[in-house]
Amino acid sequence: MAITAAMVKELRERTGLGMMDCKKALTEADGDMELAIEELRKSSALKAAKKSGRTTADGLLGIRVSEDGRKGAVVEVNIETDFAAKNEKFIAFVDEVLNAFFEAGSDDVAAVMAGGLEEKREALVQEIGENITVRRAASFETADGFITSYKHVDNRKAVLVELDKEDEALGRDLAMHITAINPMVVTSAEVPEDVLAKEREIYTSQAAESGKPADIVEKMVEGRVRKFLAEVSLVDQPFVKDGNLKISQLLKDKGNAARRFVRFEVGEGIEVEAQDFAAEVAAQVKGSE
Residue 252 DSSP SS3: helix
Cα separation, 20 vs 7, in Å, equals 12
CA 114, 119, 120, 124 torsion-angle sign:
positive
**For the chain, what is the total number of helices (H) and then of strands (E)?**
12, 8
Residues 70-81, mean pLDDT to the nearest whole number: 94
What is the dihedral angle through the alpha carbons of 197, 203, 207, 213, rounded to the nearest 10 degrees? -30
Q: Are 156 and 266 in contact (CB under 8 A)?
A: yes
Rounded CA gap, 147 and 167, in Å?
9
Binned at pLDDT 50, 70 and 90, residue 208 comes out as confident
pTM reported for the whole predicted model: 0.73
pLDDT (0 to 100) of residue 244: 96
What pLDDT, on the 0 to 100 scale, is given for residue 50?
A: 47
Residue 97 in contact with residue 62, Cβ under 8 Å?
yes
Residue 49's pLDDT is 45
Burial zone of 225 (CB within 10 Å; 0-12 exposed, 13-18 middle, 19+ buried): middle
Strands (E), the chain: 58-65, 71-79, 132-141, 146-151, 157-163, 238-239, 242-246, 258-265
Residues 115-132 have a mean pLDDT of 87
Asked if 79 and 58 touch (Cβ cutoff 8 Å), the reply is yes
Instruction: For the chain, report the end-to-end CA distance as a whole number of angstroms.
Output: 28
Interhelix angle 247-254/168-181, nearest 10 degrees: 170
Task: Tell me the pLDDT tens digit for each residue of 229-248.
Answer: 999 999 999 999 999 999 99
Mean of pLDDT values over 90-104: 96
pLDDT in tens, 14-29: 665 667 778 888 898 8
Confidence at 39, pLDDT banded by 50, 70, 90: confident
Domains observed in the chain: 5-51 (1.10.8.10), 58-182+246-265 (3.30.479.20), 193-230 (1.10.286)
**pLDDT band at 154; cut points 50, 70, 90:** confident
CA-nearest of 155, 138, 156 to 147 is 138
Confidence of residue 52 (pLDDT cuts 50, 70, 90): very low
Using DSSP's 3-state secondary structure scheme, residue 265 falls into strand
